Amino acid sequence: MSNRIDVRKTYKLFINGQFPRSESGRVYEIKSGKDFVANPSQASRKDMRDAVTAARAAQPGWANATAYNRGQILYRIAEMLEGRTSQFVEEISLLEKVTSIQAKAQVKQSIDQWVWYAGWADKIATAFGSTNPVAGPYYNFTIPEPMGVVGILAPEKPSLLGLVNCLAPVLVSGNTAVLVASQSAPLTAITFAEVLATSDLPAGVCNILTGIKDEIAPWMASHMDINAMDISGAAKKTQPALREAGADNLKRIFSFSDKAKTQRMTSFLEAKTIWHTIGI
């Protein structure tokens, strides 16, 4: 019996529902100890800008999908993730120096997060909106709306759960996302993109880049067509400069503690208040 040679996976970017290589042609090497693992793409500023274009184009459609529909798609992501558990366990164990039991726990938590947020889709307006008893003949109400395109810097570790913690609360309300994956453990992010690609998530709603975080992050922060950012995954010392760059278009920039849950949703909502006259 001959020794079969593995068919390895090429880890590429995920932009507008497709898996392109970086336009720059760059890759960077990922190792596990001394062993070569993969050459994921090293995304460039141009890749990031392409991803923003895709996210912007997809945003109105995603926001205008019914909340029921968005909830089902998020739930579908959980279903797809469940079926691929073993693949994620393998990739996490390889790069995060954790046991397969710990890796499995991370995957299960990630799946449960999607289920939890999926259920929020059609409850956000109820929980965070209001009707306002103004002193006059007007019907007045406030509805939460998505902010638009959100840039996410995912934490280094845990690579899958960290990504999910950032992404699910952004998408559930109708935002679209450009996410920069864990730089040191990017494989799960791209495998996760394959999950998204088979979950009925419209192209462009979530775009995933791999590469050097400190290279891409400043360009994201100063990009004029990104409305908000989650910079929880950026090194603490780089965060003030990102906030400063984000002031150019008054980006809403947040960094969350690991405990934050609903705040991760509500931070990426705008409150829209509508007045209408009452009369006959």
Partner 1 sequence: MSNFEYAPAPESRAVVSIDPAYGLFINGKFLPGKSHFPTINPATGEKLSKITQSTTADVNKAVAAARGAYVKTWSKMPPAERAKYLYRIARILQERAREFAVLETLDNGKPIRESRDVDVPLVAAHFFYHAGWADKLQYAGFGEAPKAHGVVGAIIPWNFPLLMLAWKVAPALATGNTVVLKPAETTSLTALLFAQVCQQAELPAGVVNIVTGDGKVGAALVNHPGVDKIAFTGSTDVGKIIARSVAHSGKSVTLELGGKGANIVFEDAAIDEAVEGIVNGIFFNQGHVCCAGSRLLLQEGIHDEVLEKLKRRMSQLRLGDPMDKNTDIGAINSAEQLAKITSLAQVGVSEGGESWSPDCALPVNGFWFKPTIFTGVTQAHRIAREEIFGPVLSVLTFRTPQEAMEKANNTPFGLSAGIWSEKGSRVLWASKHLQAGVIWANTFNKFDPTSPFGGYKESGWGREGGRHGLGAYLKGGDHE
**Contact positions toward partner 1, by CB under 8 A?**
64, 127-128, 130, 132-136, 138, 140, 142, 147, 227, 240-241, 243-244, 246-250, 252, 254, 260, 263, 266-267, 269-277
Least distance (Å) from partner 1 to the CB of residue 192? 26
- Considering the complex, what minimum distance in angstroms separates the CB of residue 142 from partner 1? 5
SS3 240: helix
| Closer Cβ to partner 1, 27 or 221, answer by number | 221
Tell the smallest beta-carbon distance from residue 272 to partner 1 (Å).
6
Judged by CB, which is closer to partner 1: 219, or 254? 254
CA distance 171 to 57: 15
For partner 1, give the closer residue by CB, 2 or 64.
64
Min dist CB 122 to partner 1, Å, is 16
Nearer to partner 1, 99 or 263 (CB): 263
Closest residue by Cα to residue 196 from 70, 11, 17: 17
Residue 134 CB, shortest distance to partner 1, in Å, is 4
Q: Got the DSSP string for 169-233?
A: HHHTTT-EEEEEPPSSS-HHHHHHHHHHHTTTPPTTSEEEE-S-HHHHHHHHHT-TT--EEE-TT
Give the number of other Cβ atoms within 10 Å of residue 250's Cβ: 9
CB of 258 to partner 1, least distance (A): 15
CA distances, 64 to each of 69, 71, 148, 169 (Å): 10, 13, 12, 17
Nearest-angstrom CA–CA distance, 267 and 274: 20
Amino acid found at 33 = G
What is the Cα–Cα distance from 23 to 26, expressed in whole angstroms?
8
Q: Tell me whether residue 30 or residue 153 sits nearer to partner 1 (CB atom).
A: 153
The residue among 52 and 190 lying less far from partner 1, judged by its C-beta, is 52
Beta carbons within 8 Å of 276's beta carbon, 6+ residues apart? 138, 139, 140
